[in-house]
């Protein structure tokens, strides 16, 4: 149940990153949003789900093109 909840939250944040990236024409938030929507399908561990999600959420703030 916890993994499902985290997957839903990261998917929602991914959609928000995609919308932001499209409106501002920024490539990094757009790609981070796509990966946020897709990566929960491939990771089964709760720890790795949180670690990868945190890295993808921070990516647009750290990588600035």
What pTM does this model have?
0.89
* Mean pLDDT for the chain overall: 94
Q: Are 40 and 49 contacting, i.e. CB atoms less than 8 angstroms apart?
A: yes
Q: C-alpha angle with apex 33: 15 to 62, nearest 5 degrees?
A: 135
pLDDT computed for residue 64 by the predictor = 81
Q: Tell me: the pLDDT tens digits for 23-42?
A: 999 999 999 999 999 999 99
**DSSP-assigned letters across all residues of 22-60:** HHHT-HHHHHHHHHHHHGGGT---HHHHHHHHHHHHHHH
Sign of the Cα pseudo-torsion (23, 29, 30, 33, in order) = negative
Instruction: Provide the pLDDT for residue 1.
Output: 81
């Amino acid at each position: 149940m916890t993994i499902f909840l985290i997957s839903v939250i990261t998917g929602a944040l991914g959609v928000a990153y995609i919308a932001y990236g499209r409106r501002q024409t920024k490539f990094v938030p757009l790609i981070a949003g796509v990966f946020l929507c897709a990566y929960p399908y491939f990771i089964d561990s709760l720890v790795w789900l949180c670690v990868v999600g945190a890295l993808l959420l921070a990516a647009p703030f750290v990588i600035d093109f």
